[in-house]
Amino acid sequence: MQDSAGTAMAASAGPCASIPAEHMDFIRQVLDRVGDKWSMLIVAALASGPMRYTDLQRQIPGISQRMLTHTLRQLTEDGLTSRTAYAEVPPRVEYALTPLGGGLYEIVKQLIGWAADHHHEIRANRS
Amino acid sequence: MQDSAGTAMAASAGPCASIPAEHMDFIRQVLDRVGDKWSMLIVAALASGPMRYTDLQRQIPGISQRMLTHTLRQLTEDGLTSRTAYAEVPPRVEYALTPLGGGLYEIVKQLIGWAADHHHEIRANRS
DNA sequence: CGGAATCCGCGGTGATACTG
DNA sequence: CAGTATCACCGCGGATTCCG
């Protein structure tokens, strides 16, 4: 189990520093899912509560219908989000974070926080 | 602003649930960098200490020279890694995590830990 | 309203060969 | 050893149109 605020990881070639070849596989899979263009944004948007399709579209500027549908389906297939369709008129579909997706959001939240804290340093280094 | 339904996140004190439009931009930039195919893997590999070019190639199975060079350059441009060339024969170049990169690794480490903990659930959901 | 289907460009990615 | 250069692929992702 990895310490939450690891201090001296450089000292030991521990469990995470050198990634075992067996772990590489699913790490890559998770990274590919999480690291695609929209997944994290959707997870972050859903963290404030269930949302409808068009709400997500408004919440995430620039996302196309194709990518919203596609990413939502992938996330739902992986059990990170849930899809609930109400057989009404007009039709209504709500997407929500599952407990699993909520766990991922905890990581995403930190990544977003880190980005907010350090993006100016990164920008400065780029110039 | 006359929002129709989404008053929930407008008043929420949540740090990240509703991402302000101004933040979207650099969040996307960080995600694009961090979420590409190899960056996190290189950061994780470098967390155990400085490494040479060929060491990284051995450590990260499947990465091509092109992508290793390319990603390393991007990371170095952003100040996440440092490049030190020793003018010797044979030439030796060492890459290392900067403090900024070390901070990112703390997040990456948690993401890897999360992946290790839950990848079996994700796999089960996919079937 | 909530999608599905189609077309298509761009760039991320790998393979290979060459260089200092 | 540590790259650079060039080519070619293919699939991500946007725009548009149509369906239940």
The pLDDT tens digits for A64-87 are 999 999 999 999 999 999 999 999
Q: Does a structural domain hold residue B6?
A: no
Counting the structural domains of chain B, the total is: 1
* pLDDT tier, B15 (very low <50, low <70, confident <90, very high otherwise): very low
Instruction: Give the tens place of pLDDT for each residue, B77-125.
Output: 999 999 999 999 899 999 999 999 999 999 999 998 999 899 999 989 9
Q: What is the pLDDT of residue B12?
A: 40
| CA of A15 vs chain B CAs: smallest distance (Å) | 10
Q: State the nucleotide closest to A32 in CA–C1' terms.
A: D12
State whether the beta carbon of B93 lies below 7 angstroms from any atom of strand D: yes
Query: Taking 80 as the threshold, does the pLDDT of residue B6 lie above it?
Result: no
Cβ contacts of A78 within 8 Å, gap of 6 or more? A33, B122, B125, B126
Query: Taking 80 as the threshold, does the pLDDT of residue A103 lie above it?
Result: yes
Query: Taking 80 as the threshold, does the pLDDT of residue B73 lie above it?
Result: yes
Q: Does a structural domain hold residue A4?
A: no
How far apart, in Å, are the Cα atoms of A93 and each of A69, A72, B82?
A: 12, 12, 48
End-to-end CA distance of chain A: 39
Percent of chain B with pLDDT over 70: 86
Q: Does a structural domain hold residue A47?
A: yes
pTM score of the predicted model: 0.85
Q: Does a structural domain hold residue A45?
A: yes
Q: Does a structural domain hold residue B36?
A: yes
Q: What CATH code is carried by the domain that includes residue B85? A: 1.10.10.10
Q: Does a structural domain hold residue A103?
A: yes
* Contact residues, chain B, for A17 at CB < 8 Å: 44-45, 47-49
Query: Taking 50 as the threshold, does the pLDDT of residue B3 lie above it?
Result: no
Q: Do B29 and A119 lie within an 8 Å CB cutoff?
A: yes
Q: Do A112 and B49 lie within an 8 Å CB cutoff?
A: no
Q: Does a structural domain hold residue A7?
A: no
Q: Does a structural domain hold residue B28?
A: yes
Give the structural domain span for B41. Answer: 21-126
Instruction: Give the tens place of pLDDT for each residue, A6-50.
Output: 344 443 334 445 677 777 877 888 888 888 889 999 999 999 999
